[in-house]
């Protein structure tokens, strides 16, 4: 099974983390893949996500069984939560979110055990909960979304009353871990002060505070993996965190344009409505795999929302401490994240309603809300069993089967075995590299053309002679230093000085030409990037190359190899285009309803450009018939 996410994730395990602040995840996924030599990297690391999600479901079932004394409810909660589309998607790609889900569930389980244990045992479980909080720093800070829910559980006594002082050591450690996770000195200092104050005002808890803080430091020490790894200068040393300052910048994701909570990047109503769009994808996306609400899918969403309300009410009546915890988790993972993350309108949201100039995210961000959808699924599962038992006590298994319906209703949309998603990213990776001239410097425009190419080079060893230059990364000093050190494409004087992207691209193109290397650009790069390079006016497969290089490489016996298609279209190397079409048959096209993920359809459009060029050159079809993605401008 191959798709863009899988290829990106396969690169993760070869030391090229997509998110450089996740060393624990990269290490675990790499170890997992090494333990499965019989499977490909992409398959083995996808299985890692699947196992993490299955384990999270098992932990959820244990929690629900413990508080409800009902294994049918526990099973239904786990099945329905795991069947939510966003959860399922995270379970079948090599990304960090499945392991985040597992860590969040383990933290809640430890907190639940702490709330129902005696002094000595309770202390051990509270320390374990603090350790889980701190593991979020090297894994992914998103796991701390579950921290407030765990605090609520820890604060409960056996009789159900709240005793907040019990949770103070844990709250102090959570604050300290959060400060490191967001690389904020002020928050780290506040966390340290809170730890000291708890030790002073609660003398009996000093031993617990020391143990919890020590375990937190042990967990956070996993960040040292980044420093050790960076000293070996791996294939892609993202962020180059070989110094404490560089490590701090990597942890805080300084290279990314992270928005603050204010000003809002979109109106609050847009951000809330966007969440409801994502919620409508969760239960029955296979019935209508499109971004908009539909009469076949949305009513089922409403039914499961009602089941969630019934399940929440049932849970509240059976065990209020754990209900409060899940309610806090749901609020934190929905309203809390909407406010804190401050996203632009989603990539698929509001077209035709919002102004054309309204900014949109480059992709839909439903995966950030996975914990909220997980809680909704758990409550819906409980609600399905509760309703079945109201009809007849023996009907609990029927309720569990009803709770598993999302597994059936989402299957057509969540299945990654179907084409084109199965192989389109790998085909694109090979097509990009094979289209590049020998010893080329290949300019790429972003994730979609960079990560597949990196994967093909790093994992499969395809075209190591090609140097991939990612235009958006040129604004970072570490990447400029890497290009200078490894490919001599950036001069020493340009490493420390940030210049406009167009200036850096032009400078790299000059250095490449000076060294006798051809320059090419992915067809997915914007026109401005290609214009910065210079004379990239000939299409060669799915890249653009310099006209002078193309003419020099054209056999004299075939002067018509370069065809001019018109003022609004590029010149084309027709000989290479014909060979490309023969060598790269397209995976089967998507259905008329392309689904919520536009990437496979976009890849197919780019891969179809060489055949379109040939049709224009050979059959006299108007150049204006070319799809816009195939045009030079």
Q: What is the pLDDT of residue 319?
A: 95
Residue 42's pLDDT is: 84
pLDDT at 488: 94
Which tokens hold the place of 527?
Answer: 């026109």
Q: What proportion of the chain, given as a percentage, has pLDDT over 90?
A: 69
E strands present in 462-597: 467-470, 519-522, 536-540, 543-546, 562-564, 571-573
Query: Residue 149 in contact with residue 325, Cβ under 8 Å?
Result: yes
365 confidence band (pLDDT: 50, 70, 90): very high
Residue in this structure with the two tokens 């009410």, named with its chain if needed: 313
Look at 577 and 19; give whichever has higher pLDDT.
577
Q: What is the mean pLDDT of residues 416-425?
A: 83
Give the per-residue pLDDT at 625. Answer: 67
Helices (H), 319-446: 320-331, 337-341, 370-391, 396-403, 405-409, 411-414, 424-435
Average pLDDT over residues 357-376: 95
The confidence band for 284, taking pLDDT boundaries of 50, 70 and 90, is very high
User: Quick check: helix, strand or coil at residue 530?
Assistant: helix
pLDDT for res 592: 40
pLDDT tens for 101-147 read 999 999 999 999 998 766 778 899 999 999 999 999 999 999 999 99
Confirm if 133 and 158 have CB atoms less than 8 A apart.
no
CA within 13 Å, CB half, 220: 25
Q: What value does the mean pLDDT of the chain take?
A: 90
Please give the pLDDT value at position 118: 63
List the domain boundaries for the chain. Answer: 4-253+266-412, 424-630
- Interval 222-240 mean pLDDT: 90
- State the average pLDDT over residues 143-160: 92
Q: How confident is the model at residue 410 (pLDDT cuts 50, 70, 90)?
A: very high
Question: Which stretch, 18-32, 80-94, 418-432, has highest mean pLDDT?
Answer: 80-94
Digit-coded pLDDT (tens) for 511-532 = 999 999 999 999 999 888 999 9
Which range has highest mean pLDDT (113-117, 402-406, 574-578)? Answer: 402-406
pLDDT at residue 352 in the model: 86
Q: Of 67-71, 374-378, 452-456, 593-597, which range is least confident? A: 593-597
pLDDT tens sequence across 548-565: 888 777 655 455 588 887
Instruction: Tell me the average pLDDT across 304-325.
Output: 97
**Percent of residues in the chain assigned helix, strand, coil, to nearest 5:** 65, 5, 30
pLDDT confidence of 334, banded at 50, 70, 90? very high
The answer to whether residue 170 scores a pLDDT higher than 70 is: yes
| pLDDT score for 154 | 95
The predicted pLDDT at position 560 comes to 56
User: What pLDDT, on the 0 to 100 scale, is given for residue 325?
Assistant: 97
> How buried is 490 (Cβ within 10 angstroms: 0-12 exposed, 13-18 middle, 19+ buried)?
buried
Q: What is the pLDDT of residue 18?
A: 47
pLDDT band at residue 342 using 50, 70 and 90 as cut-offs: very high
Average pLDDT over residues 79-88: 98
Higher local confidence (pLDDT), 53 or 238: 53
| Percent of the chain whose pLDDT exceeds 70 | 93
Give the phi and the psi of residue 572 in degrees, each rounded to 5: -135, 135
What stretch of H or E contains 65? helix 41-68
Mean pLDDT over 582-601 rounds to 72
CA 166 to chain centre: 36
**Strand 519-522 to 441-444 pairing:** parallel
Structure confidence at residue 628 (pLDDT): 74
pLDDT at res. 633: 54
Residue recorded with tokens 């921290």: 147
What sign does the CA torsion over 22, 27, 30, 36 have? negative
10 vs 605: CA distance, rounded Å: 24
Residue 541 confidence (pLDDT): 93
Residue 20 is predicted with a pLDDT of 59
Specify burial of residue 462 (Cβ count, 10 A radius: 0-12, 13-18, 19+). Answer: middle
Local confidence band at 15 (pLDDT 50, 70, 90 cut-offs):
very low
pLDDT band for position 269 (cuts 50, 70, 90): very high
As a whole number, mean pLDDT of residues 245-249 equals 93
Which has the minimum average pLDDT: 15-29, 199-213, 600-614? 15-29
Kindly tell me if the per-residue pLDDT of 358 is higher than 90: yes
Tell me, what's the pLDDT at 566?
75
Helical H segments across 84-146, by residue range: 85-91, 97-115, 119-139
Element (H, E) at 67: helix 41-68
Q: pLDDT tens for residues 433-457?
A: 999 999 999 999 988 899 999 999 9
- Give residue 16's pLDDT band: very low, low, confident or very high (50, 70, 90): very low
99-110: burial string, b at 16+ Cβ within 10 Å, e else: bbbbbbbbbbbb
What is the per-residue pLDDT for 7?
43
pLDDT band at 3 (very low <50, low <70, confident <90, very high): very low
Q: What is the pLDDT of residue 182?
A: 95
List 296's β-bridge partners, or say none.
Answer: none
What is the model's pLDDT at position 1?
37
């Amino acid at each position: 099974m191959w798709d863009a996410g899988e290829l990106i994730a396969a690169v993760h395990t070869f030391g090229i983390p997509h998110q450089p602040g996740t060393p624990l995840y990269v290490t675990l996924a790499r170890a997992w893949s090494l333990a499965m030599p019989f499977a490909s990297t992409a398959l083995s690391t996808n299985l890692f996500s699947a196992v993490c999600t299955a384990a999270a479901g098992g932990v959820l079932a244990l929690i629900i069984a413990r508080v409800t004394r009902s294994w049918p409810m526990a099973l239904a909660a786990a099945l329905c939560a795991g069947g939510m589309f966003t959860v399922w998607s995270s379970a079948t790609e090599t990304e960090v979110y499945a392991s985040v889900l597992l860590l969040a569930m383990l933290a809640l389980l430890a907190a639940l055990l702490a709330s129902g244990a005696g002094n000595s045992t309770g202390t051990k479980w509270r320390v374990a909960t603090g350790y889980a909080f701190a593991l979020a720093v090297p894994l992914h800070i998103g796991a701390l979304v579950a921290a407030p829910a765990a605090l609520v559980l820890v604060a409960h006594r056996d009789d159900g009353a709240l005793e907040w002082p019990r949770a103070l050591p844990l709250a102090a450690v959570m604050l300290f871990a959060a400060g490191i996770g967001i690389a904020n000195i002020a928050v780290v200092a506040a966390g340290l002060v809170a730890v000291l104050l708890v030790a002073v005002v609660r003398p009996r808890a000093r031993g617990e505070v020391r143990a919890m803080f020590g375990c937190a430091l042990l967990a956070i020490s996993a960040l040292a993996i980044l420093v050790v790894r960076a000293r070996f200068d791996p294939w892609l040393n993202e962020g180059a965190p070989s110094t404490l300052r560089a490590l701090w910048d990597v942890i805080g994701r300084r290279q990314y344009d992270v928005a603050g909570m204010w000003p809002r990047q979109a109106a609050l109503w847009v951000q809330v409505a966007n969440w409801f769009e994502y919620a409508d994808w969760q239960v029955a996306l296979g019935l209508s795999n499109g971004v908009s609400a539909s009469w076949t899918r949305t009513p089922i969403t409403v039914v499961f929302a009602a089941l969630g309300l019934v399940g929440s009410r049932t849970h509240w009546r059976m065990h209020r401490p754990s209900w409060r915890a899940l309610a806090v988790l749901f609020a934190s993972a929905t309203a809390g994240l909407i406010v804190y993350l401050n996203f632009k309108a989603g990539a698929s949201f509001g077209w035709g309603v919002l102004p054309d100039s309204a900014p949109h995210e480059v992709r839909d961000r439903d995966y950030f809300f996975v914990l909220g959808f997980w809680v909704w699924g758990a409550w819906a599962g409980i609600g399905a069993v509760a309703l079945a038992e109201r009809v007849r006590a023996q009907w609990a298994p029927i309720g569990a089967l009803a709770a598993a319906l999302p597994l059936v209703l989402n299957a057509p949309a969540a299945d990654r075995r179907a084409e084109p998603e199965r192989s389109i990213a790998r085909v694109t990776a090979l097509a990009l590299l094979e289209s590049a001239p020998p010893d080329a410097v290949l300019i790429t425009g972003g994730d979609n053309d960079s990560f597949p190419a990196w994967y093909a080079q790093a994992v499969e060893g395809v075209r190591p002679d090609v140097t991939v230059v990612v235009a958006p990364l040129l604004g970072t000093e570490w990447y400029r230093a890497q290009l200078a050190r490894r490919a001599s494409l950036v001069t020493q004087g340009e490493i420390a000085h940030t210049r406009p992207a167009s200036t850096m691209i032009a400078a790299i193109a000059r250095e490449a030409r000076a060294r006798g290397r051809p320059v090419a650009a992915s067809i997915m790069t914007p026109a401005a990037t290609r214009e910065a390079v210079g004379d990239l006016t000939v299409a060669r497969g799915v890249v653009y190359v310099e006209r002078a290089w193309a003419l020099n490489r054209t056999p004299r016996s075939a002067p018509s190899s370069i065809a001019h298609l018109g003022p609004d279209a590029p010149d084309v190397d027709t000989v290479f285009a014909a060979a490309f079409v023969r060598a790269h048959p397209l995976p089967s096209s998507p259905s008329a309803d392309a689904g919520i993920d536009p990437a496979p359809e976009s890849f197919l459009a780019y891969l179809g450009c060489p055949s379109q060029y040939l049709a224009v050159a050979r059959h006299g079809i108007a150049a204006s018939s070319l799809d816009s993605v195939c045009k030079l401008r």
